[in-house]
Amino acid sequence: MKMAREGLPFVGTGLGLALLAWVGAQFFPLLIYAAWLFGVLGLFMVFFFRDPDRTPPEGDDLVLSAADGKIVSIAKIECDEHLEGAAIQVSTFLSPLDVHVNRNPLSGVIEFVKWHRGHFHAAFVAAASTENEQSIIAIRHGETRILVKQIVGILARRIVCNLNAGDAVIKGEKFGLIRFGSRVDLILPAHTQLRVKVGDRVRAGETIIGAIDDVQGNTS
């Protein structure tokens, strides 16, 4: 099983403590329970930071899911400050059991990456989209701009984003992750033809969220 490199310290810590507790159990037998506990924790970290291969579908106008999880909200936005016009917000909630590696939803060029400090509401509530700590990534594809928001939750307190302004990105490639349960929002032009609905399960880099018409794209 492939694993994201960001998980190596967590796996190493868990298994290292398990080994120390196992050695200590030779002198203090009750430590065997700690050895089992740390061992299970280390193995869960391997599972949590798993990084399965994904094959994106063909189609330049297709917007893919940036995260694994469940669609918890699809909302119309009257005026998004970054798109400077009407938009559609598609929100995906990641439970601790989902793959947490994030992938580019669309090929293009990174216009900016912003960091917004905020609260740590539960990631599945609506307020998380605007009030929680998050990174905001703008991708320019031709005349169209879309946004990706990596949003922390109650448990998720660490966002990893490996993108910088000016980077050329390819749809389906990895760009970061969020640790231990989180939320990822896609902010799309209002004319996007959606192919998902609330309650759908999605996979990063594979599930088609919608199709954009580049001719009508946002030119802000």
Q: Does 10 share its domain with 67? A: no
Q: Does 151 share its domain with 87? A: yes
Place of tokens 């594979």: 206
Provide the token pair at 92.
């995906």
Q: Is residue 71 part of a domain?
A: yes
Q: Is residue 109 part of a domain?
A: yes
Q: Does 117 share its domain with 42? A: no
Domain count, the chain: 2
Q: Is residue 190 part of a domain?
A: yes
Q: Beta strand pairing status for 101-103 and 85-94?
A: unpaired
CATH code, domain carrying 120 = 2.70.70
Using CB atoms within 10 Å of the CB of residue 145, give its burial: 0 to 12 exposed, 13 to 18 middle, 19+ buried. buried
Q: Is residue 40 part of a domain?
A: yes
Provide the token pair at 166.
């000016």
Q: Does 33 share its domain with 71? A: no
Q: Is residue 56 part of a domain?
A: no
Q: Does 184 share its domain with 118? A: yes
Cα 220 from Cα 83, distance rounded (Å): 6
What are 19's strand-pairing partners? none
Q: Is residue 57 part of a domain?
A: no
Q: Does 24 share its domain with 103? A: no
Closest CA to 174 of 202, 153, 150, 204: 204
Note whether 174 and 92 are within 8 A (CB): no
Which residues are catalytically annotated? 182
Non-local CB neighbours of 210 within 8 Å, separated by 6+ positions: 62, 63, 88, 90, 188, 192, 193, 194, 195, 196
Q: Rg for the chain (alpha carbons), in Å?
A: 19
Residue 15, domain extent: 5-48
pLDDT digits (tens, 9 = 90+) for 4-20: 778 788 889 989 999 99
- Over its length of 220 residues, how does the chain's per-residue pLDDT go in tens digits? 787 778 788 889 989 999 999 999 889 999 999 999 999 998 988 888 889 999 999 998 999 999 999 999 999 988 677 777 889 999 999 988 899 999 999 999 999 999 988 888 777 777 778 888 899 999 999 889 999 999 988 765 688 999 999 999 999 999 999 887 689 999 999 989 999 999 999 999 999 999 997 544 443 4
Task: Give the number of other CB atoms < 10 A from CB of residue 10.
Answer: 18
